[in-house]
Structure 1
Amino acid sequence: MADRGLPEHAHRRLTRSAPRRSNDGSRRGADPHPLLERDTALHTVLSGPPQVVVSGGIGCGRTTLLRAAAELSAAQVVAATAVRSERTVPHGIANQLAPHLSRTRPTLVAVDDVQHADSESVAFLVWLRRFPNIRVVVTHSATDSPHRVALSAWHQVWLRPLSTGNPALLSAVRDDGDEVGPVTRRTFLDLLRDNDLFEVACGLAVLGRHSAFLGALTNRHPKAVTTLTDSGLHDGTRFLLPAAEEILLGALAPAQAADLHLRAAALLHDAGAPDLDVAEHCVAAQAVDDRTGGVPLLRRAARTATSAFAVDCLRLALRTSDDEAVRVELGRTQWRTDPAAAARTLLPCDSGDPVVLRARWWHGDFSPEINRCTAELSLCHEFLTGRPLQAVDAEAVLRQRGPDTAPEALAQALRLVRSEHWRATLAIDASGTLRALLDAVRAEDSWRRGDVLATAADARSALDGLSPEGWGAAIGFPLQFALLAGAALGHETSPLPQAVPRGVFWPEYLRARGRHHLALGRPYAALDDFTAAADRLGEAEARIALGQSGAARTLLEEEIAPPSDARTTGIALRLLATVAARTDRPGLLREAVRRLEHAGDHLELSRALADLGHDRRDRGALGEARSLGRRARRESGLPERDAADGVLSAAERKVAALAAAGHSNREIGRRLCVTVSTVEQHLTRVYRKLSVAGRDDLPRELLTR
């Protein structure tokens, strides 16, 4: 599988076809050759001085150029390749060439990798200059060899990398489909190993920008970097091939790679490099010792590192020395991104450190004694229990926040201040735990405004921000708004985690789940949740759905009594209107609208307006009913067009479609095999959700579904 993409290169223009010749001069078909940017060099080899040395960086096409010259030459071609293992065999190359040479016939002698040839064969090649019919072309790597002096008088051709990169790698990338895939990886490693540069390249991969320490790390002369640079593999500071460092270190045994990193860490530490630079190598090696600064260096590096790398540093420090101070420091850092991991780190601690207390609270254990309370700790306690430990200036906590300020303290302070300025300020750099908590606070604010769609999106974002284990006992906070929004939209929500039955969010979760059950036509389950949560409004609505009007009226009249707030009173009045005498309904609904307008809850206001519009339609006031319906749709915050999409449940959509087509309730019940009472309940919810006064106002789009 390909690993990483490269910028597109012009490799599709790298090939030309030419007939290939053997030593006896016969043609053996055509073969493509990457000769882009090599025209001048090819002309020199074919028509220039009689003795030519073609040199260049590794993988820059010396062999390809030599083969192309052999195929294009009109002369007899006599070729040989020197190999490292035959370097000590006297006359090895000479013996391969001599039988095919002629004193009179034009001949091209081509020797590849002459740096590996024996000295006697090189002397033979030099001796051939006395024959005017013989042209000698050899290739030589960029590395030094004992034959440099012997060949120094020959015409030198230097092949540089192509303008688009190293030719060998470009060809490999092409074969991998323009990706850094297996062919490219293998080619890259082969180029380095064949030229004794693998150790140097691994050293550069480990050192990165600290390549000045290459000699000390590998005992190789830093001049070898020049060879890599001349080859288009390295630019002096980094490798040009994406993922080169990963390829190189992945080719080492894990113990070898760790040893390189640890030695690099020691070198950098001795040279006074920044703690973070040294710590990177320690973490890569998963080891630390006195030569690299030990655990103190890792703790110092963690204070200025990103959260993720700070966790890596402190995990290594804790594994090296199981110190409770390091454990607390690690847990505090983990809390920024993963409270579940932080809890696993902190819960075994005996320390009375505030972060340990917070971990216990986060998981529903409120028993530990508090030695010294701070404003931050009080806000954390209030967030999870609803009870502050002391009076707190929430805005002061927001102003004086630091990188280690508890995310739940900031979230609670924001809930108390309710400031758009602070919400925007905190969101700028928020990530991990704080980001998830801010999304949950935003869902709460969206629900208070009656913006159902925003509530659903914010609650989902919050739940996606942390795992259920990460949320701990606080999961009921975003979960309640996901359920409430789902109920308002009529969605059967996707599987959601269960809230933790501890802390302040459990009753809120039960209320929200009750709303969800009620919206989906499960009044008995809803009644159980509302009763357990002591939600009298919810209990009254569930009893209305069950036909228990008397019990519902008693509950609602108690809720309307002072000192109820405007929102509670408004909702209670709307529900009371559903069980009141017909003559009392208009007054109750108009008062509900007035109270809810004052409370600023747009969703509940839209419900009251829809109920009032339905009542006005029943009384023949069609114009007023339509006007109220339009206003109800605006207040609901739901899309006006295709409002039924994503709002009605499947059962409600079927009933609404048949009602829009003009069928009576009895006909609808017979078609769907349900009771007339069930049809009426479905239509009541449809009217409310779509904010319409009756079946004549149902969207015509329902008829096409």
Structure 2
Amino acid sequence: MPLIEREHLLSELTALHATAAAGHGRVALVDGGVASGKTELVNALAERAAAEGALVLTAACSLAESAIPLGVVNQLCHGADLRPALPAGDTDAPTLRDDDARLLESVCRLLLDLAAQRPLVVVVDDVQFADPLSLQALLYLQRRIRAARVLLVLSGCVTARPAGAAFHAELTRQPHCKHLRLLPLSPDGVGRLLAERFAPEVARRLAGPAHALSGGNPMLVHALADDSRGATEFPAVGDAFVHAALACLHRSDPRLLDVARAVAVAGPRASTALCAALADVTPAATRQAVTALAEAGLVDGHEFHHPAVRAAVLEDCPPDVLEALRHEAALLLHDDAAPAVEVAEHLVAVGAPVEPWAVPVLVAAAAEAAVEDATAHAVDCLELALASTADPRERAAVEAGLVRLHWRSKPSSVLRHLPSLLDAARADLLDGRDALLLARSLAWHGRPDDAAEVLAGLDELAEHPDPEVAADHRATADWLRHCDPDGPRTRTDRAPAEDPAADRFALDRAEEVLQRARPGDSVLVAVWAALRALITADRLDRAEDWCERLHEEADRRDLASWRAVLSDVRADTALRRGDLAAAHRHARQALTTLSAASWGVAIGSPLHHLVLAATLTGRLDQADEALRHPTPPALRRSLFWPRYLRARGVHYDAADRRQAALADFRAAGELAVRWAADDPADLPWRVDLARVHVRSGRPEAARELVTEHLALPGADSPRARGMGLRALASACAPKQRQAMLCEAMDLLHASGDRHELAHAFADLSQTGQALGEFGRAKMMGRRALQLAEGCAAGLLRQKLQPLHDALDERDGGAEDGLAALSDAERRVVNLAARGHTNREIGHKLFITVSTVEQHLTRAYRKLGISRRTDLVPIGPTEEVFA
């Protein structure tokens, strides 16, 4: 294997050998970083010298044998078949004794006698690990070879050990000593090395990244090549690279490993002083070691080239040593007034309970981590703080902080903290905001009585000077009423408003809550309530806009609870727009984002949306499966329950289980009335009940229910009134239905509910069939089918298709005249069907009466009708002026 970027060094060594062989002894000190190729270089020289007839004696030093007296000398004598030198007594004495001096003189004379016979090359590898007496022997030899045919080659990181500096100074002060230093490979050198393992184009592509990762260390480059074979990424960092990096450390001086561990523990932002203190060496020795680590291709400053190497160094460290280093680092950083997050990183890594001084540090670090959305680390900090303090008030504050963090992504984790926090609240150990948080959490997780107990002592917060605290109290009280409308009410509770000014105030307050909202930091239930307020008021565009903004931030910050609730709100708006496929998708996403335990009683909302969406899309089996989903008992005490009952009733009705549907609709209505939540826009239970009555042959009961529905506050919204009129029309005779259905169609179009609009067209189609107006029926049926397909209303489509096919068959498959109408004819037909005279139509459309008559004549022919009374509106009023 060629010595890449080492050829000139081999040439210099060869020249030194030639000079020595001529009787002018030379010394070569080959220095360089760990695994830089020193051994390969001196071995290449030894092979070349042996080929030229020189006697080559070699010795390989190691840390394990560095305490064996004259271990290196013995290796050299053994190689020359000389009698091994006997060890002396105290090899660590600062000065040589007479016996030692005579022994070394004897060894040197033996080697010089060999050189008199033929050129001698003495190679000592990893000389930094040589025992002290052997080092003295080498210095003895060096001083006596000036006129001998001897080349002494010493390789290694000579200054790596404490005695190395003196040895290096003594060695290099002699004029016949040559110092050769191996530098890391350049990017081009790395490319040449890789070309031995890969195709040239691959090697060129890998050279730059491989050099950045290895620092030009040949052993690390080879390891990268091993890891990259068959990998999908290049260069790949795998086991070979990590093991090679550890081998570099274990092959070097122990102090280098100590400093590497200190650097790994301290991290890239650490100072030299901190690393020195952790490694228990001087700052100067630390800087020297860091330089050596950089030459070995492991670090850049105090940062490892690859995080896998840092992780491996930490994993390689004995657990007790690592724990001591972590603890020492935390203490030193704290004493140096380092940021809490840096101190906490080491405390959390230790994992064991810490001293009291560290608890405030961990709490502060958790707060910083929460701001950066490092929720898991923040939880780790507070868990350790909780395990490290026995102070009741401090424990209560820490647990409240944990609850606040768990609300971001896993509300089910809140459960284990509720008992101790409730005890803390009863002992008056919680501040106001933490107590409000506890009350909301208790209500969410099905403990409304305990929540009411906590909230009962917090009435003064309703008038708190801090508007956020007052809003927090109001949101908590509203949430508790939502979770337990039969429970005790605080003095801040209000019954639902029934006048427009109050509604306007509620909407303004909802907008204020949403404008202040910060996902992860704000009160989630307050934001949810604000969005529901917009939806109930038919402000779907505003609700969707806020949902989009908040969901985007919740996604970016990975806040599962917020994403789940916002998905549920999206399901609600999608249902009200008649986008059943989107409603089904969002409801499922809400239920998969959070577990059932995390949803608590609030699971009633996404289940309600999923059951409705699955039923109306025709997936009755999925709706049935959703209804079998376990729910907490407390759900039946909450305002989520009437909506859940209504959804279940719709499913029972679709499955032809009318008595069960009637029971659910009635129960939902009774609860809504009892709990002052009887909102026809949000819970149209009377409309649902009326439809069942109509199909059961009880139109009088249906009309009475719809009349009540239409008279309620909130029923003047387009969607609520449109649904009511459609239900009322179904309870009337066919001749009376058309006007109601046309008005309902306009209202539902204005509301944006395509599913209800499709039902209105379907009802018009059935009315046309009942009156024998089959052309009209076919047009309306076709439009109903188109809308049903567009909003994924599978249940409606299943009912409509046979009727439409029957009309097609009766009509002989004649071309649908609706599609054949021009835009002008469509506008004229729309107005004529609504009862306008030809003169009124001409005035509205700015055309002559004669033109109106011509449009009507062509329309009659295309639609297959002969009378004006057969016309039916084929679109909303707005389409007339499109």
TM-score range, shorter chain: 0.7 to 0.9
The answer on 1:375 being equivalent to 2:471 is yes
The separation in 1 between residues aligned to 2:756 and 2:789, in whole angstroms, is 8
Q: Which residue of 1 aligns with 2:526?
A: 409
The separation in 2 between residues aligned to 1:465 and 1:239, in whole angstroms, is 37
2:416 to 339, 344, 349: 344
The answer on 1:486 being equivalent to 2:634 is no
Q: Secondary structure at the match of 1:174?
A: helix
What TM-score results when the alignment is normalised by the length of structure 2? 0.61
What's the offset of the Cα at 1:408? 1.3
The separation in 2 between residues aligned to 1:380 and 1:424, in whole angstroms, is 25
2:160 to 122, 132, 143: 143
Higher helix proportion:
2
**Distance 1:563-1:181 versus aligned 2 partners, 3 A rule:** same
Q: In the alignment, residue 178 of structure 2 is paired with which amino acid? A: W
1:389 to 469, 493, 500: 493
**Distance 1:556-1:224 versus aligned 2 partners, 3 A rule:** farther
Q: Which residue of 2 aligns with 1:249?
A: 314
Q: Which residue of 1 aligns with 2:588?
A: 460
What's the offset of the Cα at 1:361? 1.0
Q: In the alignment, residue 510 of structure 2 is paired with which amino acid? A: A
The answer on 1:305 being equivalent to 2:384 is no
Q: Which residue of 2 aligns with 1:549?
A: 696
Q: Which residue of 2 aligns with 1:361?
A: 443
Q: Which residue of 1 aligns with 2:599?
A: 471
Q: Secondary structure at the match of 2:270?
A: helix
The answer on 1:633 being equivalent to 2:761 is no
What's the offset of the Cα at 1:589? 4.1
Q: Which residue of 1 aligns with 2:644?
A: 509
**8 Å contact from structure 1 (residues 114, 139) kept in 2:** yes
Q: In the alignment, residue 389 of structure 1 is paired with which amino acid? A: D
Q: Which residue of 2 aligns with 1:112?
A: 125
Q: How does 1:48-127 map to 2 (within 5 A)?
A: 52-67=28-43, 75=52, 79-87=58-66, 88-90=68-70, 91-99=73-81, 110-117=123-130, 118-119=134-135, 122-123=138-139, 126=142
**8 Å contact from structure 2 (residues 475, 526) kept in 1:** yes
What's the offset of the Cα at 1:625? 3.9
Q: Which residue of 1 aligns with 2:400?
A: 328
Q: Secondary structure at the match of 1:305?
A: helix
Q: Which residue of 2 aligns with 1:176?
A: 227
Larger radius of gyration: 2
Q: Secondary structure at the match of 1:176?
A: helix
**8 Å contact from structure 2 (residues 754, 787) kept in 1:** no
Q: Which residue of 1 aligns with 2:190?
A: none
**8 Å contact from structure 2 (residues 39, 155) kept in 1:** no
What TM-score results when the alignment is normalised by the length of structure 1? 0.75
**8 Å contact from structure 2 (residues 32, 38) kept in 1:** yes
Q: Which residue of 1 aligns with 2:813?
A: none
1:154 to 175, 178, 202: 178
Q: Which residue of 2 aligns with 1:674?
A: none
**8 Å contact from structure 1 (residues 578, 585) kept in 2:** yes
What's the offset of the Cα at 1:93? 3.4
Q: In the alignment, residue 119 of structure 1 is paired with which amino acid? A: L
Deviation larger for 586-595 or 265-274: 586-595
Alignment deviations for residues 339-366 of structure 1 (CA, whole Å, 9 cap, x no partner)? 2222321343231711111111112322
Q: In the alignment, residue 786 of structure 2 is paired with which amino acid? A: R
Structure 1 portions without partners, runs of 5+: 1-17, 19-32, 665-705
The separation in 1 between residues aligned to 2:5 and 2:703, in whole angstroms, is 88
The answer on 1:189 being equivalent to 2:246 is yes
Alignment deviations for residues 194-216 of structure 1 (CA, whole Å, 9 cap, x no partner)? 22122221211111111321111
Alignment deviations for residues 25-70 of structure 1 (CA, whole Å, 9 cap, x no partner)? xxxxxxxx7x554444455455676654332222333334445666
Structure 2 portions without partners, runs of 5+: 19-26, 83-113, 188-210, 229-234, 463-469, 486-491, 495-504, 670-684, 810-882
**8 Å contact from structure 1 (residues 443, 454) kept in 2:** yes
What's the offset of the Cα at 1:370? 4.7
**8 Å contact from structure 2 (residues 764, 777) kept in 1:** no
The answer on 1:203 being equivalent to 2:307 is no
The answer on 1:167 being equivalent to 2:226 is no
**8 Å contact from structure 1 (residues 607, 632) kept in 2:** no
Q: Secondary structure at the match of 2:30?
A: strand
The separation in 1 between residues aligned to 2:327 and 2:475, in whole angstroms, is 44
Q: Which residue of 2 aligns with 1:217?
A: 278
Q: Secondary structure at the match of 1:303?
A: helix
The separation in 1 between residues aligned to 2:9 and 2:577, in whole angstroms, is 76
The separation in 1 between residues aligned to 2:511 and 2:666, in whole angstroms, is 36
Deviation larger for 258-267 or 396-405: 396-405
How many residue pairs end up in the alignment? 619
**8 Å contact from structure 2 (residues 687, 705) kept in 1:** no
Q: In the alignment, residue 525 of structure 2 is paired with which amino acid? A: E
Q: In the alignment, residue 498 of structure 1 is paired with which amino acid? A: P
The separation in 2 between residues aligned to 1:37 and 1:478, in whole angstroms, is 68
Q: Which residue of 1 aligns with 2:570?
A: 442
The separation in 1 between residues aligned to 2:786 and 2:32, in whole angstroms, is 75
Q: In the alignment, residue 293 of structure 1 is paired with which amino acid? A: W
**8 Å contact from structure 1 (residues 59, 231) kept in 2:** yes
**Distance 1:159-1:75 versus aligned 2 partners, 3 A rule:** farther
2:631 to 482, 499, 508: 499
Q: Which residue of 2 aligns with 1:238?
A: 303
**8 Å contact from structure 2 (residues 445, 600) kept in 1:** yes
**8 Å contact from structure 1 (residues 560, 573) kept in 2:** no
**8 Å contact from structure 2 (residues 436, 472) kept in 1:** no
The separation in 2 between residues aligned to 1:627 and 1:555, in whole angstroms, is 24
Deviation larger for 231-240 or 576-585: 576-585
**Distance 1:558-1:529 versus aligned 2 partners, 3 A rule:** closer
**8 Å contact from structure 1 (residues 55, 141) kept in 2:** yes
The answer on 1:229 being equivalent to 2:301 is no
2:553 to 425, 429, 446: 429
The separation in 1 between residues aligned to 2:185 and 2:655, in whole angstroms, is 69
Deviation larger for 472-481 or 398-407: 398-407
Alignment deviations for residues 234-269 of structure 1 (CA, whole Å, 9 cap, x no partner)? 101311122233222222344432221111111011
**Distance 1:325-1:210 versus aligned 2 partners, 3 A rule:** same
Alignment deviations for residues 572-591 of structure 1 (CA, whole Å, 9 cap, x no partner)? 55567678766566555434
The separation in 1 between residues aligned to 2:580 and 2:9, in whole angstroms, is 72
Q: Secondary structure at the match of 2:276?
A: helix
Q: Which residue of 2 aligns with 1:599?
A: 751
**Distance 1:505-1:139 versus aligned 2 partners, 3 A rule:** same
Alignment deviations for residues 153-200 of structure 1 (CA, whole Å, 9 cap, x no partner)? 224132315541133233333333454433333332232122212222
Deviation larger for 248-257 or 116-125: 116-125
What's the offset of the Cα at 1:474? 0.9
Alignment deviations for residues 412-437 of structure 1 (CA, whole Å, 9 cap, x no partner)? 12332453564455445334223322
